[in-house]
Structure 1
Amino acid sequence: MRALVISALRAFCGTVCGAALVVCTGPAAAIARAHPPPPAEAGQEAGARPGAAGSVRALPLRPRAAAGPVTETGPFSLLGIVWPDAGQELRAEAWVRTRSAATGEWSGWHRLEGHPDHGPDHAVGHESGHESGHGAAERAAEAVRGGTAPLWTGPSDAVQVRLAAAPGLPHGLRLALVDPGEGPAPAGTAAGAPQPRGAAAPMPQITSRAGWNADESRREAEFVYTESVKTVFVHHTETGNGYDCAEAPAVVRSIYRYHTEGLGWRDIGYNFLVDKCGTLYEGRAGGVDLPVRGAHTLGFNHNSAGVAVIGTFMDQEVPPPAADAVARLAAWKLRMYGGDPAGTRERTSTGGKYPAGTVVRLHTVSGHRDGTHTDCPGDRLYAQLPAIRTAAAAIRRPAAGR
C-alpha cells in the first residue's frame, strides 16, 4: 500500500499557528507509495514522478494554545488533515483558511469535516460467498490512515489552521496539501463491455480515468471485484462548492491523490463522481461495467457502487444536471444486475453503524447515511433521493427500431 516517507527537501514554509495549532517547520513529508519512485530531481516536488502532474505534501501539525503566523506553502488546490491510526477519530473542530495564488486574497475560515464512516471496510463482505482480487480487507492494511474530508480551495499558496487542543487528539497529525497539476488529457469516454441486446437501461456517457488524467502509478495494480451491484450509495464529496465545471477534472485528480497518498487507500474510494454540470467521471479503476469493490460506505462496500456528487449539499441545492446524472448511472448499474432502482434489498453489514453480520433492508438507491453514521450526502441531496429513484426507475433502453 502506501507509507509516509520523509523527504530530503525542505518545505516552502516557515512556522504557522492557527488559534490553537502550529504547522511545524522542518522537513516536509511527501506522501508516497511504499515503493516510491526515483528520488526527485532538483527543483521537483518531493514525491512527484518525473512527467507526472501534481504532488502531495504533508506538513506536521503540533497543537498549541497561542496563535501564530501564516505558512507559505507553494502551490496546492485541496487539503485535509491526516493521521496514522485509521481507527481514531478527530474529536475536535478543525478550521482552515487559505490564500489565493491568483489574487493574494484570503478565504474565510472553513471547517474540515471528519468522515470515519467513509472508506474501506474492516473485513471482506461475503453475502454470497465470493469476492475476487487482492487486498479485499483494505482497511486492515497498515498504510491506511485516518483523515478529514478534503476541502477544495482552488489554486492556493498559503494556509492557516485552527484546531483547539483537546484530550484524545490523534497522534501524528499532518496537513496534506494536494496540487492536482495542470489540466487533463483530452477528454475520453470510459468504455464498458458490449451490453447484451435488450439491456434494460442505456449506459450513460462517462469520462474515463484517462479523460481526467489519472496518474495510474498512484494506485494499486490489482483490482478487487464482488459479485453484483445490489445498491448504489449516493454521496457528496464535502469538498465545498467553490469550483466551476472546467475545474472538475482537477478536483477529481485531487480527491484521487488525497485518497491514495493522503489516506493510503488502494485507489480513489468512489466508483463514480459527477460534477455540478452533470458530467460523470470514472472513479475506482477496474471497469465501469464491472462490480468493482469501492471504499465509500463503511460496512457495505461489497456488492455496491458509490457515486459522489462533487460539492457539499447540506444547505446548497443540488444542481438538476447532477441529480439527473445520478439517476442515469443508478438505472444503468442496477438494471445491469437485475436490480430495481425504486426497490429495496436485504444487505449484510461487515461492521460499522450495523454490527458485522446484521441484515439490513436498504433502498437500492440509498444515501450514505442510510448505511453509516454520517450526514452524507447532505440534507439537500438526501432529500432528492426519492425523486432520483423515480427518475432512475423510468429510464429504460429504447425498443429496437425506435
Structure 2
Amino acid sequence: MRGILVSSTVTACAAALTLPFLASSPASPATSPERPGARGSVPAALRPVSVPGSTQSLPLVTLGTADRARVGGPAKEQGLPQQEVEPFSLVGIVWDDATAELRGRAQVRTRAVGSGAWSGWQDVQTHDDDRPDLGSPEARGGRLRGSTAPLWVGASDAIQVRVRPDALADRTPEGRSLPAGLRLELVDPGVDPAPARGARAAAPPDLTEEELASSTANLPLAPLGATEIPALDKPASEADIAAAGTGGRRTDDPAETTDTTDTTGTGGLSDIPDLGELTIPRVTDLVEEAADSAEGADPQDDSVAAGGRYVGPRPRIVTRAGWGADESLREKGFSYTKRVRAAFVHHTASGNRYTCAQSSSVIRGIYRYHVVSSGWRDLGYNFLLDKCGSIYEGRAGGVAKAVLGAHTLGFNSNSMGIAVLGSFGTTNPPAATVKALASLTAWKLGLFGANPLGTTTLVSAGGNLFKKGTSVKLKVISGHRDGYATECPGDRLYGRLGAARTAAARLQGR
C-alpha cells in the first residue's frame, strides 16, 4: 500500500467580467452562449453563482478605402478598424468550413487595459493543425469550424485586425484564399479559482455533475475535488498501471484505431442518478485496490511486466480543477483510445508574452477557444506545460488513462498530445520545460510499456503528410511535424526532443 497526499477542494467560480461595451462597431460583438444542457442536473442552489470567462465574436468586414490606405492592404483585405471592446486576453480567427484553409497573413494590434498603450502588429498563426481527425465522431458532430492558432495578448480593451490574402492564392485550383464566414474571437479567460481552503476532499454537493465526473476520472491518484495530483517516487508510481487500465493488454499488438466513447453523460457514472445518493469510497481503499491489482497481474503480460519495471516517477500535475476549467463548456462523457503508443509534442503558438502566474489563464483561454469558438468537444491537448515546468491536465477523462485527444490531425488515436505554452520557432524552450516533458513522458508512456527511446507504428487517419490507412513508423516521442507537415512545435523545441527522450528513458530506469 502507498500513501497519497493531496491538496484541497475547489471553491466556487468567480464572477465573469461585466464591463460595458465602450464604442459602436461595424458589427456588434456577440457573446457566445453555452450549449443547451451543458450543466448537469444539479439543484440550482448548489451551482456556482456565475461562470468565469466569456467570448466575444465579431464578423470581419471588407476594409474600406480609408482603412486600406492606413494599413496598406489590397482591396480584398478583411479585418476590423480600431475599435473598443469588452476586456479580453486571447484572440483567434475562425471560419465556417473546418476543411478550408486560410491562405494569407493575419495580424492584430491591441490596446492594453490600464496603460492605454497600443502594441505593434502581431502575427496570428493561420494554420492550426492541432485538431480533431476529420472522420472522428468529434468532427462528424457538425460543430467544427476552421480556426487559426490562438494568440495570447494579455488584458486588452481595444483591437484592430487585418487579414491579407496571398497574392496568387485566387489563381490556385483550390479557389479563394480567404474562407467564408471569417470571425474574430476575443476570449476573456475569467478570474483564477480562489485559493483552496484546508486539505479535505470535496463533498459531492460542492461539485457540479461535470466537475464530479472529471474529478472521479482521476481516482485513485487524488481525491475528489483535488486541485493537483501529487508527485510520487518511482516504486510507488508503478501502482498507477492499474489506474491506466492496461492490465491484460499487450503493447506489442498491432496498432488499433477503434475508439471507445463513454456517452453516459457522467463520464462513467451512469449508475449515479442523484448526487445525494453518491457514496464516496475512501481514497486509501482505492489506492490499496490499485496496488493489489498491479501485484496480481499476469507476469507474462508485457504491458504490465515492462510497465512495472520502467514506469518513471509520477510528476506533480495540476488538475482541471486546479487551473479553473469550466466543466459545463465541454461535452459530457469521455472518449478513449486503446492505449498510448506515442507522445506528440506541440507548442501552442500563442506567443511567449505570459508569466507563469498567468499560465492557468492562458489554458482557460485556449480551452474556451477550442470548445466555444472552434466547436471541439473539449480542450484538444492531453497535457500542457508552461515555461516554469509546471504540468497541467488537459482533456478530461483521467491523466493516467488513454484519453482520445484532438492534437495531431491523422494520429490522435493511440497517442497523447503534449503542448508547451508559447512559440518556439526562434525562442529556446526553458530547461525547466524540457525537464517537465521528460518527467511526464517517462511516467505516462511507462504506464503503457512504451520506451521513450524507441519507435512505434501508428495508422494514419488522413492528413497532408500521410494518406488515410498508411502505417507509419514514428519515434515514441515525436514532434507534431513528424506526423503532419507543419512548423509545430517550432525548430528550437523540436531540437530538444532528443534530450527529452534520453532523460525520460533514464527516469524509467532504462
Give TM-score scaled by structure 1 length: 0.85
Does residue 63 of structure 1 match 2:175? no
Q: Name which of 166, 176, 183 aligns with 1:174.
A: 183
Task: Tell me which residue corresponds to 1:75.
Answer: 87
Structure 2 gap ranges (5+):
1-19, 40-47, 68-80, 171-175, 197-226, 231-239, 244-289, 296-307
Asked if 2 retains the 8 angstrom alpha-carbon contact of 1:64 and 1:165, the reply is no
Per the alignment, in what secondary structure is the counterpart of residue 250 of structure 1? helix
Task: Tell me which residue corresponds to 1:247.
Answer: 358
Deviation at 1:397, TM superposition (A): 6.8
Does residue 326 of structure 1 match 2:437? yes
Structure 1 gap ranges (5+):
1-9, 16-23, 39-48, 125-136
Following the alignment from structure 1 to structure 2, what is the Cα–Cα distance between the partners of residues 165 and 334? 42
Inter-CA distance 67–120: structure 2 relative to 1 (3 Å threshold): farther
Does residue 377 of structure 1 match 2:379? no
Amino acid at match of 2:448: Y
Deviations 1:297-322 (A, max 9, x none): 00000011101010000000110001
Matches within 5 A, 1:9-28: 12-15=22-25, 24-26=26-28, 28=29
Per the alignment, in what secondary structure is the counterpart of residue 326 of structure 1? helix
Deviation at 1:32, TM superposition (A): 3.0
More deviation, 308-317/167-176:
167-176
Deviation at 1:186, TM superposition (A): 3.3
Does residue 95 of structure 1 match 2:97? no
Task: Tell me which residue corresponds to 1:149.
Answer: 149
Task: Tell me which residue corresponds to 1:162.
Answer: 162
- Which one has the bigger helix percentage? 2
Deviations 1:210-266 (A, max 9, x none): 000100000011100011100100000000000110000000000000000010100
Q: Name which of 464, 467, 486 aligns with 1:355.
A: 467
Task: Tell me which residue corresponds to 1:46.
Answer: none
Does residue 104 of structure 1 match 2:105? no
Deviations 1:300-348 (A, max 9, x none): 0001110101000000011000111011111111111010001000111
Q: Name which of 432, 436, 452 aligns with 1:341.
A: 452
Task: Tell me which residue corresponds to 1:190.
Answer: 229
Per the alignment, in what secondary structure is the counterpart of residue 322 of structure 1? helix
Task: Tell me which residue corresponds to 1:140.
Answer: 140
Task: Tell me which residue corresponds to 1:32.
Answer: 33
Deviation at 1:183, TM superposition (A): 1.6
Inter-CA distance 216–89: structure 2 relative to 1 (3 Å threshold): same
More deviation, 332-341/59-68:
59-68
Inter-CA distance 307–87: structure 2 relative to 1 (3 Å threshold): same
Task: Tell me which residue corresponds to 2:270.
Answer: none
Inter-CA distance 362–67: structure 2 relative to 1 (3 Å threshold): farther
Asked if 2 retains the 8 angstrom alpha-carbon contact of 1:202 and 1:397, the reply is no
Following the alignment from structure 1 to structure 2, what is the Cα–Cα distance between the partners of residues 141 and 190? 33
Deviation at 1:72, TM superposition (A): 0.2
Asked if 2 retains the 8 angstrom alpha-carbon contact of 1:185 and 1:211, the reply is no
Percent identity over the alignment? 50
Does residue 84 of structure 1 match 2:85? no
- Which one has the bigger strand percentage? 1
Following the alignment from structure 1 to structure 2, what is the Cα–Cα distance between the partners of residues 184 and 315? 33
Deviations 1:139-186 (A, max 9, x none): 222111111000000100000001125641111111000001112343
Following the alignment from structure 1 to structure 2, what is the Cα–Cα distance between the partners of residues 397 and 75? 49
Asked if 1 retains the 8 angstrom alpha-carbon contact of 2:315 and 2:439, the reply is yes
Following the alignment from structure 1 to structure 2, what is the Cα–Cα distance between the partners of residues 280 and 225? 21
Matches within 5 A, 1:157-306: 157-164=157-164, 167=170, 168=176, 169-186=178-195, 188-190=227-229, 193=243, 194=290, 196=294, 198=308, 200-306=311-417
Following the alignment from structure 1 to structure 2, what is the Cα–Cα distance between the partners of residues 365 and 74? 41
Per the alignment, in what secondary structure is the counterpart of residue 323 of structure 2? coil
Asked if 1 retains the 8 angstrom alpha-carbon contact of 2:125 and 2:149, the reply is yes
Amino acid at match of 1:388: A
Asked if 1 retains the 8 angstrom alpha-carbon contact of 2:38 and 2:329, the reply is no
Following the alignment from structure 1 to structure 2, what is the Cα–Cα distance between the partners of residues 241 and 250? 14
Asked if 1 retains the 8 angstrom alpha-carbon contact of 2:38 and 2:331, the reply is no
Following the alignment from structure 1 to structure 2, what is the Cα–Cα distance between the partners of residues 301 and 343? 19
Q: Name which of 116, 119, 125 aligns with 2:131.
A: 119
Asked if 2 retains the 8 angstrom alpha-carbon contact of 1:190 and 1:282, the reply is no
Asked if 1 retains the 8 angstrom alpha-carbon contact of 2:104 and 2:163, the reply is yes
Following the alignment from structure 1 to structure 2, what is the Cα–Cα distance between the partners of residues 12 and 270? 35
Give TM-score scaled by structure 2 length: 0.67
Following the alignment from structure 1 to structure 2, what is the Cα–Cα distance between the partners of residues 183 and 243? 15
Asked if 1 retains the 8 angstrom alpha-carbon contact of 2:438 and 2:504, the reply is yes
Over the aligned positions, Cα root-mean-square deviation in angstroms equals 2.2
Task: Tell me which residue corresponds to 1:368.
Answer: 480
Deviation at 1:63, TM superposition (A): 2.4
Inter-CA distance 13–364: structure 2 relative to 1 (3 Å threshold): farther
Per the alignment, in what secondary structure is the counterpart of residue 164 of structure 1? strand
Following the alignment from structure 1 to structure 2, what is the Cα–Cα distance between the partners of residues 37 and 303? 28
Task: Tell me which residue corresponds to 2:16.
Answer: none
Deviation at 1:103, TM superposition (A): 1.2
Amino acid at match of 1:330: T
Following the alignment from structure 1 to structure 2, what is the Cα–Cα distance between the partners of residues 107 and 312? 18
Following the alignment from structure 1 to structure 2, what is the Cα–Cα distance between the partners of residues 86 and 366? 25
Inter-CA distance 37–298: structure 2 relative to 1 (3 Å threshold): closer
Following the alignment from structure 2 to structure 1, what is the Cα–Cα distance between the partners of residues 195 and 421? 21
